Amino acid sequence: MNILDRYHAMEYGPAPEARNEADAWLAARDFGRALFIGGDWKAASGGKTFETSEPSSGKLLAKISDANAVDIDAAVAAATKALPKWSAASGYQRAKVLYAIGRAMQRHQRLFAVLETIDNGKPIRESRDIDVPLAIRHFIHHAGWAQALDKDFPGHRGVGVVGQIIPWNFPLLMLAWKIAPALAAGCTVVLKPAEFTPLTSILFAEICERAGVPKGVVNIVQGGPEAGVAIVNHPGVQKIAFTGSSEVGKIIRKATAGSGKKLSLELGGKSAFIVFEDADLDSAVEGLVDGIWFNQGQVCCAGSRLLVQEGIADALIAKVKTRMSRLRVGSPLDKNTDIGPLVDLTQLDRVKGLVAEGARQGAVCWQPDAALPSSGYYHLPTLATGVSPANILAQEEVFGPVLATMTFRNTEEAIELANNTRYGLAASVWSENVNLALHVAPQLKAGVVWVNGTNMFDAACGFGGYRESGFGREGGREGMFEYLTAKLPLGPVIKPATTSAQPVEQPDGDTIDRTAKLFIGGKQVRPDGNYSLAIATAKGKLAGEVGLGSRKDIRDAVSAARGAKAWPEATAYNRSQVLYYLGENLSGRAGEFAARLTELTGATPKAAREEVEQSIERLFLYAGLADKFEGRVHQPPARAVTLALHEPVGVVGIVAPDSSPLLGLISLVAPALAMGNTVVAVPSERYPLLATDLYQVIEYSDIPSGAINIVTGRSAELAGVLAKHDDVDGLWVFADAETCAKAEAESIGNLKRVWSGNGRSLDWASDEAAGDAFLRRAVEVKNVWVPYGD
């Protein structure tokens, strides 16, 4: 074929990236001593190794040290030894180290890119132009956070030794996402890369040596499941940061329950790519290529569900097929390649199996007529049409180059289809009407929404999910909070409730019997089981009886909270006024509540009055903050702004303590309500009459029905029911240690956000038991990317 023929055919010749430097680096390394612990290179104590191979050919690249629990002990010991000096270093000192890492990576960025492509299989254009530059950006960006820490995060310090486990789809970038903020916060690190892709982490460890990272601050241990389990379970680790599958994330959540470890999980996704009829279809198609075929679809936020408005569906699908037929599948080191191999044969077999099952369930799977390379783990880009919402290709994360397509008629149906998944990581909205796009974005249950774009990332902008896509954020201000801790004012150790064993004497004289009901959906209702719980005064006499709530009552309360749309949809100013009114009405009955506190707890009249006044003050505090605890606007180095929106978590279950029973309850309920959440509260088991006395105050304070629901009963039992309920989005538990641990362990059904006191109460009267620390737990941060310009 001559030049003129090539011009008319518009075919590209091969443009291979040189790999000689990478091969020389591979040949010069002793990968049998690939564990970087305490600044030294070590072999695995058990002498085991694992193999890493080249996905494009299946050829062996290296045999890598396979760490075991003994090696993890050594790494944690090194990190623990280095922690005091590193955490005590000034922000400027840590900033210099982070900057040095970034600059050293810049000097070797081509080697990083080629190694990443050889080891992972992603096209060199992606490694060279996206992964490596963005990894460098994270270190230089977080150098700034290190120096600004005291000013921007007053009262916070690094959480301690951090265990980090990263996946194989973005080996270097995930490493940067994890290590950069940890070092900026003053933490030390034990990081385990994925077995499939260890090479760039080894090169990074060499960079740490050159950049002057103090010994033990960064420890990188290669290994498999044994090493990962050892990190998660190690008592010397104060935080676990994990990126990977939702299934493993649930195992980690359960394993860390009751340990007090801080936890962030960035898990799987099934992201919606929504195209409205007024979208620029050609731009949408190019966005779709980036959304689903970037990194062969091995992306947790891949736009793997195409939702297209009916009127343009045929036209868009035709354009997509035309574009797919021009995608180049081949060697990842060829600069013209669009789609490289999947990471391993096991991944290829999994993708093939899911496509076959999707076709069996009715999907029509189309692939372009293209030849695959004779060796390697390649899969053609696949378009599945006629996909029902229940089809496995619409519900399960394929993690391959497979696009499932569905149509919608109107905006409401598009939102419903987009949210019809257990995941909630990302979404993409395409429309030339910015009003429509910004109307849809807040209604999508996703931590990141891209408007007329996809797969946009930056170190200044948080990334993370809702639902089973995990919790916590990577990057930005919110990502820094994941590696910081603030001392909350601890109260006494909470002992298991003993109300059933309390002797209760009948009161003297003639009294009218009173049994308080539950408060569900804005009404007082009898408990489903028609059992009651006797409540004693401080002197052991009967103060009254309350309903003994059950699983059915919690179910009814959660249903009422889920259906209370008026509260989360109300403006922050409106919620503010209602909370002020609630405080005003409680103030009108302050004497009555103070007397009840004295009767039940034995507090002096002065102390009881102070607790009531502090409760009213808390309501006023959160009323005032309801319209002031707002999101931010980020300006990443791109033609876009990122709106970091604060959104309510959803339905929040609250299990309140016995200590300061009125103030403790209000200190938990008020911030949740202020941010637009609806609440199912289990009040103090020992002193629930203070909560039942609130019913009337709530009823005439303009709080919409279902916004707050109160179920009295056994705290431990009801906490477990809330933990297992998949329509509860968040759970705050201040109870005995066993109840807290069980709540965390049993929350894995939908990976709800759990805040536990770990068996300790708080000093609810202190200033630290109020404010931003509580409001941050009451919101999800959604980052909406809005591009601008031509």
Q: In one letter, which amino acid is 337?
A: T
C-alpha 482/C-alpha 479 separation (Å) is 5
Catalytic positions, written as ranges? 266, 300
For helices 132-152 and 91-107, the axis angle rounded to 10 degrees is: 170
The answer on pLDDT for 501 being more than 50 is no
Bridge partner list, 156: 486
pLDDT bucket at 2, cuts 50 / 70 / 90: confident
At residue 507, the pLDDT reads 59
At residue 747, the pLDDT reads 96
pLDDT bucket at 8, cuts 50 / 70 / 90: confident
The answer on pLDDT for 511 being more than 60 is no
Q: Burial code of 414-446, b = ≥16 C-beta within 10 A, e = fewer?
A: bbebbbbbbbbbbbbbbbeeeebbbebbebbbb
At residue 498, the pLDDT reads 65
The residue with tokens 């390379």 is: 373
- Between 6 and 47, the more confident residue is 47
At residue 1, the pLDDT reads 63
Q: In one letter, which amino acid is 434?
A: V
pLDDT bucket at 60, cuts 50 / 70 / 90: very high
Share of the chain above pLDDT 70, in %: 97
pLDDT bucket at 502, cuts 50 / 70 / 90: low
What would the mean pLDDT of 384-411 be, rounded to a whole number? 96
Report which DSSP code applies to 378. Answer: -
Structure tokens at 774: 């509580």
pLDDT bucket at 497, cuts 50 / 70 / 90: confident
Question: Among 9-13, 452-456, 679-683, 731-735, which is the least confidently predicted range?
Answer: 9-13
At residue 218, the pLDDT reads 98
What would the mean pLDDT of 10-22 be, rounded to a whole number? 84
Question: Among 3-12, 46-55, 146-155, 172-181, which is the least confidently predicted range?
Answer: 3-12
- Between 497 and 233, the more confident residue is 233
The answer on pLDDT for 569 being more than 80 is yes
What would the mean pLDDT of 229-238 be, rounded to a whole number? 98
- Residue 264, Cβ density class (10 Å: 0-12 exposed, 13-18 middle, ≥19 buried): buried
C-alpha 239/C-alpha 260 separation (Å) is 9
Spatial strand order of the sheet with 730-733 comes to: 523-525, 518-520, 708-710, 678-682, 651-655, 730-733, 753-756
The answer on pLDDT for 505 being more than 70 is no
C-alpha 117/C-alpha 203 separation (Å) is 14
| 58-61-66 Cα angle (round to 5) | 110
pLDDT tens digit sequence for 205-225 = 999 999 999 999 999 999 999
Share of the chain above pLDDT 90, in %: 91
What would the mean pLDDT of 616-626 be, rounded to a whole number? 97
What would the mean pLDDT of 548-566 be, rounded to a whole number? 97
pTM of the entire predicted model = 0.94
Q: Are 732 and 743 in contact (CB under 8 A)?
A: no
At residue 438, the pLDDT reads 96
At residue 508, the pLDDT reads 59
The answer on pLDDT for 57 being more than 90 is yes
Q: Are 463 and 424 in contact (CB under 8 A)?
A: no
Please give the mean pLDDT across all residues of the chain: 94
The answer on pLDDT for 762 being more than 60 is yes
C-alpha 481/C-alpha 391 separation (Å) is 38
At residue 489, the pLDDT reads 86
